[in-house]
Amino acid sequence: MKIGVIGLGTVGYGVVEILTNEKTRLEKEMKQEIVIKYGCGLEEVDLPEEIIYTKDYHDVINDEEIDVVVELIGGTTIAKNIILEALNNKKHVVTANKALLAHYGKEIFQTAKANDVHIFYEASVGGGIPVLASQKESLIANNTKEIVGILNGTTNFILTLMENENLDFDEALSIADGLGYVEANPALDLDGIDAAHKICILAQNGYQKFVDFDQIQASGIRNVTKLDMDYAKKLGYRFKMIAQAKPVKDGLGIDVSATLVNLNELVANVMDSYNVVEIDNDYVNNIIYYGRGAGRYVTASAVVSDIMKTHQVERWSHDYEDCKHVYPISSSRYYVRASKPVDIPYETYYSEKDDHIYITEEIELTDLKNKLDDENAVIFKVRG
Ligand SMILES: NC(=O)C1=CN([C@@H]2O[C@H](COP(=O)(O)OP(=O)(O)OC[C@H]3O[C@@H](n4cnc5c(N)ncnc54)[C@H](OP(=O)(O)O)[C@@H]3O)[C@@H](O)[C@H]2O)C=CC1
Ligand SMILES: N[C@@H](CC=O)C(=O)O
């Protein structure tokens, strides 16, 4: 097997390290030689001497000897060209690029099929957690009822540090960045877009439908304050950025939002950069995947497994229909902080200083907003 790794940053360099350190064991397992022929990056890094360094990805995708191209530069422009050109050159592709797959998955999967080559992308969801392989292989007997998860390590890490270390938002973000968790554009993490990319990929594979990413509504954690975190805790809840997908009417309900989760729920206790994915299935019922969702070796672990897979298994099928509609999931219980008492259906009421805190009964968001005579009221979803 001859591999070219394009992108030698956090994940790409980790892939080179793991493949180099584990070469003997992996070769024995795969019963073949495993060679990284190229490392491609914009700036030269320290590579083992047998690996050819190049700045130009064309060297990799046009080399007839290369059979696996590993795309780890991120983004949706050059990365898209790399992947489509590599597939059209009959190379297997491995990527961690969730943004690209959420936006252009259909075109990419169809190009792989047309060229009779594999594309694997386990690292794109949940870092090192083998959740996509489980969906495509181990859970294939089941129809998926619901997918719920914490899918972004950066925001979970920030929420954890804000709560446990009393750090402010920017301090926590800077630590997450130093640990290699944060996207090149941090807004993707903070505004829930990265989690939306991941729930889009999980929903596609779970419901065998291509989802139009632009129809997904996502919000992030920028509006979560220490004040609301403290009130949530007093009422027995913790803030988590929850991604959710389930069948709704003639399509799928998909949502990403900062949500108060009951402390008795397992999801509420997933801290640090850990991710969790709960998949409710019709035969095997609820299955929970838990592990680190971001970081060099965590992510590189999934990429290396996928590289091996290109030489092991049948191609994953992506013969999906288009999902007709994506709906927001707006019927929920809500946390409301208002500056005066309000007339809404509620389960719990708490008041401190000038704040009036409610946990509502299940209600449609528009009905709740209509009933609230307070434009400045703070509203978050509640779970559990
Ligand atoms: N970090 C993580 O924990 C995770 C990352 N991912 C995904 O993995 C992918 C890589 O992420 P990550 O390693 O963190 O990103 P980095 O920014 O650390 O690495 C990307 C590397 O690609 C290089 N690069 C950019 N353009 C080119 C090009 N045209 N040719 C060659 N190299 C290029 C960059 O160089 P330069 O810096 O000079 O621009 C950089 O070194 C992304 O899709 C990301 O979303 C997925 C799961 C977890
Ligand atoms: N920025 C992402 C990296 C992994 O996907 C995250 O924080 O989860």
Residue 212: pLDDT band (50, 70, 90) is very high
Q: How far apart are CA 182 and CA 150, in angstroms?
A: 15
Alpha-helical segments (H) within 251-323:
296-309
Q: Is residue 296 part of a domain?
A: no
pLDDT of 348 strictly over 90: yes
* Burial degree of 338 (CB within 10 A; 0-12, 13-18, 19+): buried
Residue indicated by tokens 């259906």: 345
Do 277 and 218 have their domain in common? yes
Task: Give yes or no for residue 123 CB within 6 A of ligand 1.
Answer: yes
Contact between 102 and 126 under an 8 Å Cβ cutoff? The reply is: no
Q: Which pLDDT tens digit goes with each residue over 84-96?
A: 999 999 999 999 9
Task: For the chain, state the CA radius of gyration.
Answer: 22
Do 89 and 37 have their domain in common? yes
Q: According to the model, what pLDDT value does residue 317 have?
A: 83
Q: How far apart are CA 16 and CA 47, in angstroms?
A: 8
Per-residue DSSP letter, 295: S
Q: Which atom of ligand 1 is nearest to the CA of 75?
A: 43
Q: According to the model, what pLDDT value does residue 313 have?
A: 67
CA 10 to ligand 1 centroid distance, Å: 7
Task: Give yes or no for residue 7 CB within 6 A of ligand 1.
Answer: yes
Tell me which of 124, 144, 175 is where a domain ends: 124
Do 60 and 113 have their domain in common? yes
Residue 232: pLDDT band (50, 70, 90) is very high
Do 75 and 159 have their domain in common? no
Q: Which pLDDT tens digit goes with each residue over 2-39?
A: 999 999 999 999 999 999 999 999 999 898 999 999 99
Residue 373: pLDDT band (50, 70, 90) is confident
Q: Is residue 359 part of a domain?
A: yes
Strands 68-71 and 2-6: parallel
β-pair partners for 43: none
Q: Is residue 340 part of a domain?
A: yes
- Dihedral of alpha carbons 24, 26, 29, 31, sign: negative
Task: Give, to the nearest 10 degrees, the angle between helix 169-178 and helix 153-164.
Answer: 130
Average of per-residue pLDDT across 151-160: 97
Task: Give yes or no for residue 253 CB within 6 A of ligand 1.
Answer: no
Q: According to the model, what pLDDT value does residue 312 have?
A: 84
Task: Give yes or no for residue 10 CB within 6 A of ligand 1.
Answer: yes
Q: How far apart are CA 147 and CA 267, in angstroms?
A: 13
Do 214 and 197 have their domain in common? yes
Cβ neighbours of residue 159 closer than 8 Å, sequence gap 6 or more: 221, 224, 229, 239, 240, 241
| Stated pTM of the model | 0.93
pLDDT of 235 strictly over 80: yes
Task: Give yes or no for residue 97 CB within 6 A of ligand 1.
Answer: yes
CA 75 to ligand 1 centroid distance, Å: 8
Mutational test site, ligand 1, from 108, 299, 301, 303, max ligand atoms within 8 Å of CB:
299
Quick check: helix, strand or coil at residue 38? strand
Binding residues for L-homoserine: 183
Tally the domains of the chain: 3
Of all protein residues, the one whose alpha carbon is nearest to atom 4 of ligand 2 is 294
Q: According to the model, what pLDDT value does residue 374 have?
A: 84
Please provide the average confidence, as pLDDT, over all residues in the chain.
96
Q: How far apart are CA 200 and CA 30, in angstroms?
A: 32
Q: Is residue 345 part of a domain?
A: yes
- Dihedral of alpha carbons 71, 245, 364, 352, sign: negative
Q: According to the model, what pLDDT value does residue 194 have?
A: 98
Q: Is residue 300 part of a domain?
A: no
Do 112 and 187 have their domain in common? no
Do 141 and 266 have their domain in common? yes
Is the ipTM here above 0.95?
yes
Tokens of 218: 């996502």
Q: Is residue 245 part of a domain?
A: yes
Do 335 and 200 have their domain in common? no
pLDDT of 122 strictly over 70: yes
Shortest CA distance to 137 belongs to which of 309, 288, 311?
A: 309
Q: Which atom of ligand 2 is nearest to the CA of 189?
A: 1
Shortest CA distance to 201 belongs to which of 135, 257, 247?
A: 135
Per-residue DSSP letter, 138: I
- What's the half-sphere exposure (Cβ side, CA atoms, 13 Å) at 158? 29
Q: Is residue 104 part of a domain?
A: yes
Q: How many CB atoms lie within 10 A of CB 235?
A: 18
* CATH number of the domain bearing residue 148: 3.30.360.10
User: Active-site residues: which are they?
Assistant: 198
Q: Is residue 111 part of a domain?
A: yes
Binding residues for NADPH: 98
Do 166 and 276 have their domain in common? yes
* CATH number of the domain bearing residue 75: 3.40.50.720
pLDDT of 59 strictly over 70: yes
Q: How far apart are CA 362 and CA 340, in angstroms?
A: 21
Do 180 and 93 have their domain in common? no
Do 339 and 283 have their domain in common? no
- Dihedral of alpha carbons 163, 167, 173, 179, sign: negative
Domain range enclosing 181: 131-290
pLDDT of 314 strictly over 80: no
Do 112 and 61 have their domain in common? yes
Tokens of 19: 């493949």
